[in-house]
Amino acid sequence: MGLFDRFITTKPTANEVDVAAANAPYNIQQALGGVYFSNQTATREMAMSVPALARARNIICSTIGSLPLEGYNKFTGAHVEPTQSIWQPDARITGSAVYGWLAEDILFYGVGYGLVLDAYSVSDGARIRQWTRIAPNRVITRLNNNSTEIVGYELDGVMTPSSGVGSLIRFDGLDEGVLQRAGRTIRAALELEKAAELYAKEPVPTMVLKSNGTNLTPERISKLLESWKTSRSTRATAFLNADVELQALGFDPAKLQLNEARQYVALELARATGIPAYFISAETTSMTYSNSVSERKSLIDFSLRPILTAIEQRLTMPDFTPYGTEIRFSVDDFLRGDALQRAQVYEILNRIGAMSIEQIKEEEDLIK
């Protein structure tokens, strides 16, 4: 979880820079999962050991990490060049790595955190200059007596300043996170993966060798079982004399409907993450290019949009950007069609005067 934590070699100290405090109202419902379903929540390790959920996480978070961030004037719509704190928050690593892991935190935990590494002076706007992602399991939220307001944060057991270098940036998600909301489904999927592993090691039902004669000594029983195991690894046909009887207990994978159960849980995890089931092979559909663009749009609308919104609106707050500027992820390249479709759209837009030749060249990166 602490992928970027290793880059922090010294403990941050507070300075006089007046960066906006990260304290915020606290939604008590965020903690209800841990209170009422403490034995039904899941950990990140559990989630990532389930192939369907690991694939959903990688599609969602890697896609968000790859989307460029753009700045726009809120009133005129004109493009505004974002600062380095937006497109490369931490100068030591790429911005895609920061936002990819931050998206995972919001997806799994319902909240993400950043640590302020540097900030401009008050005369320059007192905005954040550099920050990096912090693993949520390193942060403890301190609340007031009514559990309605955040009064501070502990990072690795040490209280952080409320503003300036060393303070925390909070990215609030729109729900309590998959690990709490779908913890029982993740645990069920994990148990099915364990069952699949068991049957991969022992591809037949549990067997019992029963002696029909005299009682055998422990040494003879051990030798008999060892001989049986060795023989089964070399040939499928077995021979037993009249003194020994083979009994099978339990069910084989077909009778347990193990494949069907795993497919059902994969579909439930697709629903929990909001990702279209096709993307994690949780259902069989006929996918052609003609509907692949609409599938990508569904991915944006129903899976990525809540996380994109949480990050965009936090980066638009005044400790990051000046008033009147908003930050948005650009999804145009992700949703663009093939060359023929784009050419047809450009031709129409140019004919009605909505787009010039120069703008088309710029859109297609044809300007040298």
Terminal CA-CA length for the chain: 42
**In 10 A of CB 9, how many CB atoms?**
5
Dihedral sign, Cα of residue 192, residue 198, residue 200, residue 205: negative
Q: For 184-207, what is the mean pLDDT?
A: 76
What is the rounded CA–CA span in Å between residue 295 and residue 326? 27
Q: Is pLDDT larger for residue 281 or for residue 64?
A: 64
At 16 the pLDDT is 39
Query: What is the model's pLDDT at position 28?
Result: 60
For residue range 236-290, what is the model confidence (pLDDT) as tens digits? 666 676 677 776 655 555 555 567 888 888 899 999 998 988 888 876 555 554 4
Question: Could you tell me the pLDDT band of residue 346, with boundaries at 50, 70 and 90?
Answer: confident
Tell me the per-residue pLDDT of 7-21, one tens digit each, with 9 for 90 and over: 544 444 433 334 444
In the chain the domains, ranked by start, together with CATH numbers, are 1-200+253-336 (no CATH), 206-249 (3.30.1120), 337-368 (no CATH)
**Cβ atoms of 98 and 315 closer than 8 Å:** no
Average predicted confidence (pLDDT) for the chain: 80
Q: What does the pLDDT look like over 122-175, one tens digit per residue?
A: 776 678 999 999 999 999 999 888 888 888 999 999 999 988 899 999 999 988
Contacts of 227 (CB under 8 A, 6+ apart): none
Is 80 exceeded by the pLDDT of residue 76? yes
